[in-house]
Amino acid sequence: MQKELIQYLSEFITPERLTLFEKTLEQRTSYLTVVLEDIFQPQNASAVLRTCDCFGIQNVHIIENRNEFTVDTEVAMGASKWLSLHKYNRKTQNSLDAIKKLKKEGYRIVATSPHLNDHLLPDFDLTTGKAAIVFGSELPGISEAILNEADEFLKIPMYGFTESFNISVSAAIVLYQLSQKLREHPSINWKLSEQEQDEIKTAWLRSTIKKSSLLEKRFLKERGIKKGRNS
C-alpha cells in the first residue's frame, strides 16, 4: 500500500523533484547515525544537521536533558526537513534511554572525546558494524552516563595548543571522513533498505506537497481504507 501511496503523491510534484528524491535516497545511509546530547547553541545544532544532510546521514538522535534542541533556520538551510530526527526528552534518564534504544537496534556506541584515545579517526574500523557517533554538549561534553555505556571512543588527531574543536567542526570532520570511507569500502552494505527508502520518500512527499494530508485522505477514501491503517 505504501508504494501505491508514493506513486499517487508523486503525481503532485515535478518529475525533476522526484528524480532528486530518488538520487538522494540512493546516497543516504543508516549504517552511521549521529547522537547529539544536550546541545544548547542553535548555531551548533543547526550546523550539525546541515552536515548530516550533506554527507547522507539520515538519522539524528537528539537528547534533551537540560537544554532544548533549537534550530537556527538560516544556518540549517532547511536540512532538518530531509532528516529523520528522533528526540529523547520525556524521561529523567534521556541519555540512557537513547543509548538503550540504539544498542537494541544493533549500533555500537562511539563516544567522541579529545581526552580518550581508543581509536584515532583515521584508524576507526567501520567493518565491525553499525555505529552511533555521539557528540556531547558544548561545555561539559559527553555525560558520564554515556561514557560509561560507550563501546568505543573516537578522537580526532590534533597538533595545536587548543584541546578540542567546536562541536560543529568536530562533527563535520568526523562525518566527512567516515562517510567517505564507508562509501569506498566494497564489503559494507551501507545503503538504505527498500523499506527505509519508501518510508523516507513518503515523509519527503508529505512535507513537500501542500495539503498533502487532504490528498492522502482522498487516496485512502478512493481505496475504501479507513484513516489510521498502514499506508
> The cell 539524528 sits on which residue?
60
C-alpha cell at 121: 579517526
Is 162 labelled a binding residue? no
d(CA 146, CA 116): 14
> The cell 579529545 sits on which residue?
114
C-alpha cell at 26: 540512493
What b/e readout covers 119-147, taking b as 16+ CB neighbours within 10 angstroms? eebeebebeeebbbbbbbbbeebbbebbb
Contacts of 151 (CB under 8 A, 6+ apart): 108, 109, 110
Residue 112, Cβ neighbours under 10 Å: how many? 25
Is 156 labelled a binding residue? yes
Write a three-state SS string for 32-65: EEEEEECCCCHHHHHHHHHHHHHCCECEEEEECC
CB 2 within 8 A of CB 202: yes
d(CA 145, CA 152): 14
Q: Which residues are annotated as a binding site?
A: 112, 156
Q: Which residues are annotated as a binding site for S-adenosyl-L-methionine?
A: 112, 156
